[in-house]
Structure 1
Amino acid sequence: MKTILNFKTTLTTSVKALAIIICLCFSIASHATVVTYPQVPVVQACQFSYTLKARDHGTTTWNTVYLYNTPVTTATGAETNTTCGYLSCSGSTDYKIIFSTTVTSAAIYPAPLNITPTFAGDSIMFTIAGPQKFYVDINGDHYNDCIHIIADPLEVNPPHQGDANVIFIPSGTFVDSIVKVPSGKTLYIQGGAGVRSIKLDSTTNTQVLGRGVIFRPTFDAVSIIRATNVTIDGILDFDHGWGGNGGCGIRCGQSTNVAISNAVSFSSKPWGDGYDIFSSNGVTVNDVFLRTNDDAIAFYGGGKDGFTGNCHNIVVTNSTLLPDNAHEFSIGVYGDQNIDTQIRDIVVANIDICSWSRSSGQGCFYFSVGDRVRAANLKFSNIRIKDFIGSALTRMAIVYNSTYNYNPGRAIDSVFFTNINYTGTGTPASSASGYDTTRRTTNIFFNNLIINGTVATSATAANFTIGSYASNIKFSALPVTIGQTYVLTAENSSKCANPSGGSSSQGTNIVQNTYASNTYQQWVVEDAGNNFYRFRNVYSGDYMDISGASTANGTNDIQWPLDGGFNQQFLLLPQGGGYYSIMARHSGKVLDVNGNSSSDGATIIQWPYSGNNNQRWLFTNASTGIIAMALKIPEPTLPAGDPAVNSALSPNGDGVNDVLTITNIEKYPDNKIMVMNVNGTKVYEASHYDNATQVFNGHSNITGQLQPQGTYYYQLQYTDNGVVKSKTGFIVLKY
């Protein structure tokens, strides 16, 4: 098939016909549990003499998986080539790797997979349970002889050629340009297809889906700037930042409601980050694999590239990070020199950190907080760290770095590390410091920091230096005890979790009821491995289970016989006041009292983490009544989110941006807004703007006339705890 070099080029009839045939083939293949894809045009093939095959576990028919050359960075900073292949599957899958050279050892990571391959002459074989993203180091070589295998879940109801509002890139096609996705559209890149890069800037309600690839973008692979309601799922990015001047797998700047899942990024060029999240709200990252030259995931304030505002309400789960030359998590380097901002309300859970190889540096968890930023209420839970070379585990500092900052940072406050497990050589150093008496680092809590199998219960045991202007840094074991029986009580209702009606039947919904000392209201905590837990009901003997292993919001929590599924395994996120949030391993979502109800019989469901009190649970010893206190500290005091004006206004009746919305304005009812045209003429003015009864919809409330499309400017005043604050900016009005 001829490669498409210009996205505007119209597909020929023959290409369309072939695309339909390919779609039909994929449809047929999707009934199997292993799906492989054709070679993507232009993308460089593997330079090593490997063959990768996959099949449904226990069957006899092997499928060949196409392999690609994948540059990475060595411990010395040099570029070298590894290999990557991708496929889709559902159930257990057998893999065979055939070599042309002698293989003396092969190690499969991340370690929790607990897979040991078998050797058979010139090949190795092993079985993986379901979709996984992993890699195999051959003969102890993490660089040249490293094979990355990306096994995605099978697609469910993928788009088809000709579907409304779908930009369809068929298998066998490479679009050698930036694909700009308009609002309301879905970009679908079929397996075996590729594009150069993707832009979703200033859009609303966009999606990027598929099993295709992004290959060697000069800068960012995916740009999400000032966008709202974005979904990224199933895309593999090879070698972003190929121009050598930096770039990200995904750059998310000043955007809202962004969901990234089942995605992969590789980079080898200098300053090639994975996912950089600037001044954004409501971002979820789940099931990603990042092998990068520079930082894997960064949480930043504004300042850089004109971004402004808080970076908050972010959840990162179920992922593997391999930054070859920098940090797994970088927090706070950039901020807005003109206003106070925060990086806050961030949850990171169930992460594997593999072979962090930088020979010197500032740590896996690197807080460098400058430019008036306050970093607060960050939770890191169930993180497993494989050995790295001569660097720190955690560095936390409030800084003024003249290279990046105009001002010092304000604070690091309320950071929780739970079930952090390091396996490697020695005890890596960590440290925390503030800047001065008013810019402090405080309330840092390590629950179950495990160094080579031993829980560190002091700063000395953790090799942790507490520097100037740092205080209340605590180390302890996790107070929830394996084998102990607990009552789980929701904070919002003071009622406990139990099977509905006290039933012992499998599949019974878990609901909340007033505690009455019944055994069906009691749960035994069991060790599920890797610091995950199972909850066995004392009365029925069945286990808490997210029904059907669904990842959908609102799925019921039920009781079910033990089956070893990840939907029966949970991690704990400590909260202030002694509470925990309980997160399902398979979905990254937490147990939630449906509708924040306080009524008996309200169901317990899974829902995205928010930290609300209907997602917070006390663990009370059923025999002694003693609470397993998560943290004996008050809640972190976090100010309300600043109001943020949506710059997009398109009052055309489609239900999207029909009125000017101001996020968080309900928290500041004492407000006033004025909108002016480019000539400085006032066209709209209102007090107590509320996104409902007081709204700007393109009509002037001064002249009564519909305003022409174009750029307008606003001035917003609001009172925050008695202090009058203001914001200015622009609005783009389009019909």
Structure 2
Amino acid sequence: MKKIITIAFLLSMSFNMTAQELVVYETTEDIIKTMHNDDFSVKVRKPGGLWKDLFEYNVKVDQVIGTGHSVQNASMASFDFSGTVEIAVTSSKGTINKARVRPLSKGIKTQINENTLYFTLTNPANLSVEINDDIFHNLHLFANPIEKNKPNPKDKKVLYFGPGIHEIPNQILKVPSNKILYLAGGAVLKGQILIDNVQNVKVCGRGIVDQEVRLGVKIAFSKNITVQDIFASQCLTGESDRVTIQNVKTISFFGWGDGMNIMAANNVLFDGVFIRSSDDCTTVYGTRKEFKGGAKNITMQNSTLWADVGHPILIGTHGNSEKPDVLENLNYQNIDILDQKEKQLDYQGCLAINVGDNNLAKNVLFENIRVEDFREGQLLNLRVFYNTKYCTAPGLGIENVVFRNIDYNGQNANTSIIAGYNEQRKIKNISFENLKINGVLITDEMQGKPKWYKTADMAGIFVGEHAEGIIFKMN
């Protein structure tokens, strides 16, 4: 009898662990009237179950045409699930000739039936669904894990916003210490979330900070801060400590629309974020604007970056020339880079360390990074430079950088650059381990490399003066 009960219990536990869950969010009339994009109709269901409609938000993105900028209307939808989910995306523009779901590393297979695209997910993912090669009127689809430990709206520590549009006086919502700000799925906040000179704050939920609000989330002079799952235009962290930003999505469309900046902050973790930006996706600076000091212990992992303009990753431009800053222990791991579009040679590089203002950047790791065929730019750009437009002095140096398991597949990359400034301001100790360019492993011992070639030539990298200790190897 005990044996039968034990088996029944184990079967019950197994069923619960693999149970299918699917959650779609409530949409209110004010959102339906003002925020809908009808390019797509998106439905989700448990395998073989009833289809559930998602609401397709209109989001703006930046398309560079020539040297000018043109704001385009794209779509966004989201839901929560566990187990397996089936998705149907119907285009209102007619027949789908071809389609892709990115990042390509997800390996998502699609089926097309006239104007509807079908595919299946077994894990949460932040995706771009692109029909007939159109990346500016695409569907941003955010398939979230099931939300756990929702805060109680009646708890005095909770600032709760339910479904619907919420107008915020002066468009600034300042969150006090020891509070939880919760934006429910279907909530739209018309104002900036400001976390300023506080501690022990959590912002969470499946809601939205209206994309028209620039710098939708600002974290300043604070510590012990968590931001999870929400959508906004931008998310900045300045002169703060112990910050976690998890599964947050940002899309910007306006000029100088950086995604997630670090300025003079320490111990910051980005995990599972999605950034599509109208300037740099993510940056690490020293002293900048009102924020002062260096930056250390910054990690971005399991994330997706898409730069409609500028760099996907940029380190080092801004600092304090009179009191030099150090930017150290910076880690970028398991990242998909979907695009870069930058005509200006000074601002190219998917993986860029450009130090100015007497900054020293050291101990930087780029690991397990997959770079898709971007439109215009460079794979990497490492320079100690003096950009007189933004800096008051050249950088001090770049030291101890590891590029491990970097995989670029594409045809549009310009020549990458590694160059120091002078004998006192060098680049030192740069290691490439398992660098692959279009499937070719680049090493100092690779076959087919003439002995008189630099290995960097085989990777399309120009190594200039004042750069030493550069190696290419298998790990």
TM-score for the superposition, normalised by structure 1: 0.58
Take 2:97 and 2:114, find their aligned partners in 1: how far apart are those partners?
A: 10
| Residue 54 of structure 2 is aligned to residue 54 of structure 1 | no
Residue matched to 2:228: 233
Radius of gyration: which is bigger?
A: 1
| Residue 222 of structure 2 is aligned to residue 224 of structure 1 | no
Take 2:31 and 2:258, find their aligned partners in 1: how far apart are those partners?
A: 23
Take 1:387 and 1:49, find their aligned partners in 2: how far apart are those partners?
A: 26
Residue matched to 2:113: 120
Of residues 311, 324, 328, the one that matches 1:327 is 311
Structure 1 position 217, deviation (Å): 4.5
C-alpha offsets along residues 104-130 of structure 1, whole Å, 9 cap, x if unaligned? 111110011111211223311110112
Take 2:39 and 2:413, find their aligned partners in 1: how far apart are those partners?
A: 39
Residue matched to 1:94: 86
Change (3 A) 1:427 1:298: closer
1:145-160 equivalence runs, <5 A:
146-160=138-152
Residue matched to 1:136: 129
Of residues 451, 469, 472, the one that matches 1:472 is 469
Of residues 332, 336, 345, the one that matches 2:320 is 336
Take 2:403 and 2:363, find their aligned partners in 1: how far apart are those partners?
A: 11
Residue matched to 2:441: 455
Of residues 213, 229, 248, the one that matches 1:263 is 248
SS in 2 for 1:459: helix
Cα pair 1:259 1:285 within 8 Å, conserved:
yes
Take 2:42 and 2:293, find their aligned partners in 1: how far apart are those partners?
A: 47
Cα pair 1:358 1:388 within 8 Å, conserved:
no
Residue matched to 2:193: 198
C-alpha offsets along residues 168-207 of structure 1, whole Å, 9 cap, x if unaligned? 1112242333211001111011111121220001111111
Take 1:334 and 1:126, find their aligned partners in 2: how far apart are those partners?
A: 44
Cα pair 1:360 1:390 within 8 Å, conserved:
no
Change (3 A) 1:212 1:390: closer
Residue matched to 1:404: 390
Residue matched to 1:208: 203
Cα pair 1:285 1:317 within 8 Å, conserved:
yes
Change (3 A) 1:164 1:222: same
AA at the equivalent of 2:79:
L
C-alpha offsets along residues 368-416 of structure 1, whole Å, 9 cap, x if unaligned? 2011210000000000001012421111111222221122211100010
Structure 1 position 49, deviation (Å): 3.7
AA at the equivalent of 1:186:
I
AA at the equivalent of 1:273:
D
TM-score for the superposition, normalised by structure 2: 0.89
Residue matched to 1:378: 364
Residue matched to 1:179: 173
Take 1:88 and 1:443, find their aligned partners in 2: how far apart are those partners?
A: 44
AA at the equivalent of 1:461:
M
AA at the equivalent of 1:470:
A
Take 1:70 and 1:164, find their aligned partners in 2: how far apart are those partners?
A: 33
Structure 1 position 428, deviation (Å): 4.1
Residue matched to 1:367: 353
Cα pair 2:280 2:310 within 8 Å, conserved:
yes
Take 2:172 and 2:48, find their aligned partners in 1: how far apart are those partners?
A: 42
Change (3 A) 1:427 1:262: closer
1:482-493 equivalence runs, <5 A:
none
C-alpha offsets along residues 624-660 of structure 1, whole Å, 9 cap, x if unaligned? xxxxxxxxxxxxxxxxxxxxxxxxxxxxxxxxxxxxx
Structure 1 position 341, deviation (Å): 1.2
SS in 2 for 1:112: helix
C-alpha offsets along residues 20-72 of structure 1, whole Å, 9 cap, x if unaligned? xxxxxxxxxxx96111112364584343342100112x232111010011111
C-alpha offsets along residues 296-344 of structure 1, whole Å, 9 cap, x if unaligned? 0000010x21322120001110000011011011111100122121111
Root-mean-square deviation (Å): 1.6
Residue matched to 1:109: 102
AA at the equivalent of 1:258:
V
Residue matched to 1:505: none
Take 1:477 and 1:412, find their aligned partners in 2: how far apart are those partners?
A: 23
Residue matched to 2:301: 317
Change (3 A) 1:32 1:453: closer
Take 1:446 and 1:175, find their aligned partners in 2: how far apart are those partners?
A: 50
Take 2:90 and 2:147, find their aligned partners in 1: how far apart are those partners?
A: 28
Structure 1 position 224, deviation (Å): 0.5
| Residue 399 of structure 2 is aligned to residue 413 of structure 1 | yes
AA at the equivalent of 2:35:
A
Take 2:315 and 2:395, find their aligned partners in 1: how far apart are those partners?
A: 12
Change (3 A) 1:283 1:132: same
AA at the equivalent of 2:146:
L
Of residues 432, 445, 448, the one that matches 1:446 is 432
- Count of matched residue pairs: 435
Structure 1 position 426, deviation (Å): 6.1
Residue matched to 2:452: none
AA at the equivalent of 1:296:
C
Structure 1 position 235, deviation (Å): 0.5
AA at the equivalent of 1:447:
E
| Residue 35 of structure 2 is aligned to residue 45 of structure 1 | yes
Residue matched to 1:714: none
Residue matched to 1:277: 262
Cα pair 2:246 2:270 within 8 Å, conserved:
yes
Take 1:148 and 1:218, find their aligned partners in 2: how far apart are those partners?
A: 19
AA at the equivalent of 2:237:
C
Change (3 A) 1:190 1:80: same
Which gives a bigger RCO, structure 1 or 2 (Cα 8 Å, sep 6+)? Answer: 2
Take 2:193 and 2:20, find their aligned partners in 1: how far apart are those partners?
A: 31
Cα pair 1:322 1:355 within 8 Å, conserved:
yes
Change (3 A) 1:435 1:359: closer
Structure 1 position 164, deviation (Å): 2.7
C-alpha offsets along residues 682-718 of structure 1, whole Å, 9 cap, x if unaligned? xxxxxxxxxxxxxxxxxxxxxxxxxxxxxxxxxxxxx
